Amino acid sequence: MNMDGESVLYGHASSSHSRSRSRSSSSTLDHSTGNTASARESWTGQVARPHGQRLPLLSLLLLYTWKLNGAEALATATARSTRIISNNKLARRNYEILEDFEAGISLVGTEVKSCRAGKCQLRDGYCRIKDGECWLYNVNIARHATAGSFFQHDEIRPRRLLLHKREIAKLAEAVDQKGLTLVPLSAYFNEKSFLKVSIGLARGKKLQDKREDLKRRDIDRDMSRQIKIFG
């Protein structure tokens, strides 16, 4: 009887001790979890959100502003990256440009460096179709200042223009049948930093046409001057 009672009492004591130990361990776990959450909050700078909870309005505004500024910076960089290094004004004065094409150009290293420095002259240049390729003649690209004589290039050598076959066929047909001329209009670096040459399919102006252009230019200049003076 006493042994059973002692055993029962011992069993009750052990169960109560185990319950108290589990409560203490659970409280310790909660306390450690709270410390971990607070450490995570202090580390990340923000409270962990439950699933499905929306971002605060301030965070959304900051995210929208960041995306908007990034888009504006990209647009500005794209707009600034196109840089004209040479413009052939004489071609537009002496020829009527019917259609223009954008072509790549095959260059060597020192020629590219000179073009980046703006040392390219299109004033006396012209294009010709030869053996199924379009070539640029009489365009002066100055020698590079710091390159040795072994690496220098010929300043007015013929340079191959890079066009599609259908474009070359169209230009060859226009030049042969219609008596038109191919002239370089401008040279520039595009947004991908590739050198491009704009060539024009042109017809030579007559003397009367040149006089009309000069008269029209004088009238436009006078009108713009009067607008600036009188508002």
How much is the mean pLDDT over the chain? 75
Tokens 């294009």 sit on residue = 127
> Distance between CA atoms of 77 and 73, rounded to whole angstroms?
6
Look at the chain and count its residues.
Answer: 231
> Distance between CA atoms of 73 and 199, rounded to whole angstroms?
31
Residue 109 has pLDDT above 70, yes or no: yes
Confidence (pLDDT) at 200:
92
Tokens 């504006």 sit on residue = 72
SS3 of residue 186 by DSSP: strand
Please, which residues have CB within 8 angstroms of residue 141's CB and are 6 or more apart in sequence? 107, 111, 114, 115, 119, 120, 121, 153, 155
CATH C-level class of 83-205: mainly beta
> Distance between CA atoms of 200 and 97, rounded to whole angstroms?
6
Map out the domains of the chain as residue ranges: 83-205
- When comparing pLDDT for 98 and 17, which is higher? 98
- When comparing pLDDT for 112 and 210, which is higher? 112
Amino acid at 152: Q
Amino acid at 9: L
* Segment 143-177, tens digit of pLDDT: 888 888 888 898 899 999 999 999 999 999 999 88
* Segment 203-231, tens digit of pLDDT: 887 776 667 777 777 787 777 877 878 76
What is the CA angle 192-198-201, rounded to 5? Answer: 155
Residue 37 has pLDDT above 60, yes or no: no
Mean pLDDT throughout 114-134?
A: 91
* Segment 43-60, tens digit of pLDDT: 444 444 555 555 566 666
> Distance between CA atoms of 134 and 127, rounded to whole angstroms?
7
Q: Is 188 in contact with 196 (CB distance < 8 Å)?
A: yes
Q: Is 119 in contact with 142 (CB distance < 8 Å)?
A: yes
Confidence (pLDDT) at 73:
55
* Segment 177-195, tens digit of pLDDT: 888 899 999 999 998 889 9
Confidence of residue 75 (pLDDT cuts 50, 70, 90): low
pTM above 0.75, yes or no: no
> Distance between CA atoms of 206 and 123, rounded to whole angstroms?
19
**Number of neighbours of residue 190 by Cβ within 10 angstroms:** 14
